[in-house]
């Protein structure tokens, strides 16, 4: 899939000639507490929360996707593939990391919201993976030989002691996460899909159903005049309301 992949703090570009594939890899060094328990007995306005996690985990995906669209339009055959990294905490929250949970859930919804438009209008597929807790938090060159990774990607949001406390059968090998990326790269029919990586297995996660059928669904059906006002052209979706 190319001669060079370069990872930076918020995203990596996989490049071969004019073909560009985008991997969004969020690296979070610190997390901010929304609870500010230490302010229980204080009359002072609490400090502004540190939203670096949201900046990296969600805004990085949005910015990176827009950048990918721009360059993928310039491919000899316009189009490409985007794979965003979400988390199982996007589906069921980890109560230690509320902001992280929200940011990752936003990634999942963003992928589902953009997938049909990007596929139909730009020949771009966008999907997301939701890894479980990994055995290793290092992605090394030999692990992804097919993709020719240069360097090492490391994240420290999960302390090693926490990883060590998890029973082995509940840990997800990084090779399974890598194979999820490859699965989306290799299958042109997949778009708007969310793939959970759990231990040695992979599972597609479907969007939740709304409770009141078509009545509920109407609230999230595209109305083309609004879409056009936002994006300067119609959606092209077959189920859009004209």
Helix/strand/coil (H/E/C) assignment for every residue in 178-232: HHHHHHHHHCCCCCCCEEEEECCEEEEECCCCCCCHHHHHHHHCCEHHHHHHHHC
What is the residue whose two structure tokens read 């002072």? 44
By the 8 A CB rule, do 136 and 174 touch? Answer: yes
From the candidates 25, 58, 97, 104, give the one annotated as an active-site residue: 104
Radius of gyration for the alpha carbons in the chain, expressed in angstroms and rounded: 19
* Residue 119 known to be catalytic: no
Look up 100 and say whether it is catalytic.
yes
What separation in angstroms does the CA of 88 have from each of 95, 110, 167, 214?
Answer: 12, 15, 17, 28
Out of 23, 97, 100, 181, which one is annotated catalytic? 100
Q: Which residues are catalytic, by number? A: 100, 104
């Amino acid at each position: 899939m190319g001669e060079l992949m370069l990872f930076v703090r918020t995203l990596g570009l996989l490049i071969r000639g004019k073909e560009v594939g985008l991997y969004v890899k969020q690296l979070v060094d610190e997390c901010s507490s929304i609870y500010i328990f230490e302010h229980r007995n204080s009359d002072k306005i609490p400090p502004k929360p540190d939203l670096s996690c949201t900046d990296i985990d969600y805004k990085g995906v949005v910015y990176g996707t827009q950048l990918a669209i721009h360059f993928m339009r310039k491919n000899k055959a316009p189009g490409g593939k985007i794979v965003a990294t979400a988390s199982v905490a996007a589906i069921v929250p980890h109560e230690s990391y509320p902001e992280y949970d929200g940011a990752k859930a936003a990634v999942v919804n963003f992928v589902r919201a953009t997938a049909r438009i990007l596929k139909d209008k730009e020949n771009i597929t966008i999907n997301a993976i939701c890894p479980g807790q990994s055995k290793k938090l290092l992605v090394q060159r030999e692990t992804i030989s097919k993709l020719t990774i240069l360097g090492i990607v490391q994240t420290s949001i999960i302390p090693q002691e926490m990883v060590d406390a998890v029973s082995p059968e509940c840990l997800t090998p990084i090779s399974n996460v890598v194979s999820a990326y490859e699965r989306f790269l290799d299958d042109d029919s997949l778009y708007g899909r969310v793939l959970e990586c759990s231990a040695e297995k992979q599972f597609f996660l479907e969007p939740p159903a709304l409770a009141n059928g078509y009545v509920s669904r109407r609230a999230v059906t595209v109305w083309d005049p609004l879409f056009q006002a936002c994006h300067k052209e119609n959606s092209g979706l077959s189920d859009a309301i004209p």
